Amino acid sequence: MLRAQDTSVPTIYVDDQGVMRWSDTRQEAAFYGVNYCLPFAHGYRAIDYLGKDHKQAIDRDVYHFTRLGFNAYRIHVWDVEITDSVGNLLENEHLDLLDYLISKLRKRGIRTVITCQTDFGNGYPERNRPTGGFSYLYDKCDVHSNPDAVRAQERYVSQFIQHKNPYTGFAYRDDPYVVGFEINNEPCHTGDPAQTRTYINRMLAAIKQTGNMKPVFYNVSHNMDHVGAYFNTAIQGATYQWYPIGLVAGFTRKGNFLPYLDQYEIPFSSVEGFGSKAKIVYEFDPADAAYTYLYPAMARTFRSQGFQWITQFAYDPIDLARYNTDYQTHYLNLAYTPGKAISMKIAAEVTRRVGRGESFGSYPADTLFGDFLVSHKQDLSVLNSEKIYLNSNHTTERPVAPEKLTTVAGCGSSPIVDYAGTGAYFLDQLEPGVWRLEVMPDAVPIADPFAKPSLSREAVTIAWNRWPMRLRLPDLTGEFHVVPLGADDVPVAAHAEGGALQVTPGVYLLCRPEVVDAATRRWQADTRWHSINLGEFVAPEAHAAHFSVVHTPATVVTADESLTIRATVVGPSLPDSVVLHTDRVSFWSANNPRVLLKHGSGYRYEGNLPREMVKQGVIRYTMTVYAKGQATTFPDNRSGTPLDWDYPEPLYWTTQVVPSAYPVVLLDAAADRESLETYAMPEWGGNTVNSRLDHPAAPKAWRYTFAKRDSGVRFFWKRYVADVVANRRDRLADATYLCVALPGVHALDSLSVGLTTDDGYTYRANIALDGAPLVRIPLSTLQLGDTPLLPAPYPVFLERYFSPTVQRSFDVATVESLVLHTLGEVASDASLTIGNVWLE
């Protein structure tokens, strides 16, 4: 059979040392990118729900992949949507969209690894939809051993790999932009390892019979007792994943997760055959986290372990990212999570610049590596090299060679760019004195994106506003011209002076006066530059149709001290004013107490409650947004103000006000139980069961019993407390004891009590449980120990503790989390009752 092939485009092969190399230069390859699921499952259906066009959506997202510097794409194909009951390939809309996507990626220079099958349903987060596909006939843990299922897979994989993409003219086996194939996604092997080896060999044979010459990969990070079988086959690469802080928390996780990202040790690296297999990361993500410093740290660690293909799971389609319904626990999109997206762009550069196997020591030494910086305290990642400067958040990090810069991108302000907007921006030098500026609209979070998803629940809203921008590029000193490359009616100044200009979302040419005429002739909207046209611009329309106020009240503050109130306010326009009222207002009074919140940068507003308003007890307050003659009061989100005669009794934000000598409460057992997370380690070893203790001597306590499924299991309690202590710094500095109320103990003789600081270090003491209802631990006795990684990372073979190699002294002012755990073997009838925990 004649085959359409393109021998002019280099492909990837795996050498006998397990290294992925380019066919033309024999140089090592390095890939970084994303998973993206729009052709299938919920992503496909949700685009329909919203009345959008699937192919237009793909075009928009692929453009953003290019702007973020991705060169890799991976997808696990939902075989249930493109097969019949015996494994025949169906030529339908899902396969057509996959073909279209691959062709669009190809045009942008992005390579693809295809995982041929998932062997599970197409529902999440909805219910599964019946399709007639063969995978629905078998349990996932049976599909690799059932003879009929294996035959169906052989038939399907053979037809799939030979499928000709009508948009490229190539069968998948022949497309040079398809790097290779993974047989299936996260297989479940429960039988004899020899059976697993037989299954893999049958699939390899079916693929080989198609004439495929591309590498074939297999997942080796599941089913640890089958590792030997995996490597005792002719697969050319092994696939891994990494979810360092668990999955599906249902809320945004906070804390310093750099210790979680320090190492990715593979315990079976000495298994025969390991060294000859390429290593790729098919999925990874610091799930449920909104930080912008994590992706580059993960890429660094992957490279230190020799990974050459690294693809995050999963990028949200631009039309769905407003709601984050595609995968609740993941959230990534250039328009909607700009800081995270820029950190992905930085991580792509990490993958290209950090050598395979290169190490930078252990945390905290590895927070500065090569040209890169990552910081939890600043929520920041930076690439600072001679030609490229990228920042994921506000920074004062000075560029090493500003006069040599050719690429700048970021969020917030830096020594190169002052910008008040909240979207990402890109600056690219086209030639000396000529730059392309791309400015995204503002993304403003208004709800927790990791909560239960719904297409009626907006997580991030988009606003288009005009903001000042000041550039400090030596190549554009003094005056320069600003020429729109998109719509002719974009409001923009004709020139900038002193690097200052006003910008709205869009694309512009920035030109020095002496080159502007030649530049505008040479560089036009349809001019091809690398893999984009200069005039291309993709952004969601503004949809902040109503005002939203995002505010987290202080949990507890000290009486008779002024209190700073901060809020994010976004809507169809900037407000005329934002006014805070306490609950001590009356329609009848002419002198109601009020605080005017002043507009800061972007959508931030801030005001101070004077000390005379901060009295012991509880502060209750509202905020009213005034705009264009209308007033809306929050947190009610109701038209009008609390001073209107007919305004109902408002809802209030509340803050507890305590005397200066009051202890710093880390856990209020009556109010905070839901935020006290419980874990077992190993996580499959058991769990805790809690119930409210109803006893006059301890009305604020919870009793925990233990359900064990294994010996040697430890049980943990953890609470993030940085928000709790934020406004008690003075009292915190005077604290000398950590106090724990333990009003009930049975069959436990000891407990570890610790505090984790914002540098990720844990200081603890082991206490004897002798029946005393209150334990007071001198802070001076806390000793540096291992930090338990809670929630536990995945895959299961990863280390569960961070062991610091650099000694640091305990500083109570930096406390971030409270951690308790059992010691020794836990009896089957043991129980522990936990009450309040505080510092005094």
Co-location of 673 and 625 in the same domain: no
Same domain assignment for residues 271 and 185:
yes
Same domain, 642 and 671: no
Q: Say whether both 298 and 434 belong to one domain.
A: no
Residue 196 lies in a domain: yes
> Which of 744, 747, 755 lies closest to 820 in space, CA to CA?
755
Mean pLDDT, all residues of the chain: 95
Estimate the share of the chain in helix, then strand, then coil, as percent rounded to the nearest 5. 20, 30, 50
722/819 same-domain check: yes
* Averaged pLDDT, 205-219: 98
The number of angstroms, rounded, from the C-alpha of 176 to the middle of its chain's C-alpha atoms is 31
Same domain, 776 and 791: yes
User: Does residue 528 fall inside a structural domain?
Assistant: yes
CATH code, 752: 2.60.120.430
Q: What is the pLDDT of residue 584?
A: 79
Q: Determine the pLDDT at residue 540.
A: 98
Which segments of 484-602 does DSSP mark as H helices, in order?
Answer: 516-522
Give per-residue pLDDT as tens, 225-251: 999 999 999 999 999 999 999 999 999
Find the range with the poorest average confidence among 80-94, 141-155, 583-597. Answer: 583-597
Q: Tell me if 789 sits within 8 A of 778, measured CB to CB.
A: no
| pLDDT at position 5 | 72
- 486 and 608 inside one domain: no
Q: Judge if 439 and 350 occupy the same domain.
A: no
Nearest to 424, CA basis, from 343, 348, 354: 343
Answer yes or no: do 797 and 752 share one domain: yes
Last residue of a domain, one of 597, 632, 658: 658
Over residues 267-318, the pLDDT tens digits come to 999 999 999 999 999 999 999 999 999 999 999 999 999 999 999 999 999 9
pTM attached to this predicted model: 0.97
CA 820/CA 802 separation, integer angstroms: 16
Residue 487: pLDDT band by 50, 70, 90 thresholds?
low
379 in the Ramachandran plot: left (φ > 0), alpha (ψ -120 to 50) or beta?
left
Express as a percent the part of the chain with pLDDT over 70: 97
- Higher-pLDDT residue of 100, 7: 100
- 231-236 long-range contacts (CB < 8 A, ≥24 apart) are 231/271, 231/272, 231/273, 231/274, 231/277, 232/197, 232/272, 232/273, 233/197, 233/200, 233/201, 233/204, 234/201, 234/204, 235/183, 235/200, 235/204, 235/277, 236/14, 236/180, 236/277, 236/278
pLDDT in tens, 380-399: 999 999 999 999 999 999 99
At residue 269, the pLDDT reads 97
Above 80 in pLDDT, residue 7?
A: no
Residue 203 has pLDDT above 90, yes or no: yes
User: Is pLDDT at 488 greater than 60 in this prediction?
Assistant: no
CA distances from 407 to 108, 343, 426, 585 (A): 19, 15, 8, 54
Q: Please report, for the domain that includes residue 641, its CATH number.
A: 2.60.40.10
Whether 831 has a pLDDT exceeding 90, the answer reads yes
CATH number at residue 184: 3.20.20.80
In a domain, 52, yes or no: yes
* Same domain, residue pair 386 and 496: yes
Q: Domain for residue 21, yes or no?
A: no
Range of the domain at 55: 27-360
* pLDDT tens per residue across span 331-387: 999 999 999 999 999 999 999 999 999 999 999 999 999 999 999 999 999 999 999
- Can you give the pLDDT at residue 695? 60
Q: Give residue 698's pLDDT.
A: 64
Mean pLDDT of 540-546: 95
For residue 349, tell me if it sits in a domain. yes
Q: Is residue 744 included in any domain, yes or no?
A: yes
**Please, how many CA atoms are within 13 Å of residue 19, restricted to the half-sphere of its CB?**
12
18 domain-assigned? no
Residue 703 and residue 718 share a domain? yes
Amino acid code (one letter) for 318: I
Q: Quick one: average pLDDT of 808-821?
A: 97
Region class of 560: left (phi > 0), else alpha (psi between -120 and 50), else beta: left
493 pLDDT band, cuts 50/70/90, is very low
Mean pLDDT of 90-110: 98
| Residue 138 pLDDT exceeds 80 | yes
User: Rounded distance, CA 760 to CA 544, Å?
Assistant: 37
Out of 635, 658, 681, pick the residue that ends a domain: 658
Q: Tell me if 538 is assigned to some domain.
A: no
Q: Which amino acid is at 383?
A: L
Three-state secondary-structure class, residue 512: coil
Look at the block and give the residue holding tokens 């948009």. 167
Residue 592's pLDDT band (cuts 50, 70, 90): confident
Return the structure tokens found at 806: 């650099």
User: Where is the domain boundary, 623, 658, 693?
Assistant: 658
Position 1 scores a pLDDT of: 46
Phi-psi region of 236 (alpha: psi -120 to 50; beta: other; left: phi over 0): alpha
Give the count of domains, the chain: 4
- Based on the fold, state whether residues 674 and 732 are members of the same structural domain: yes
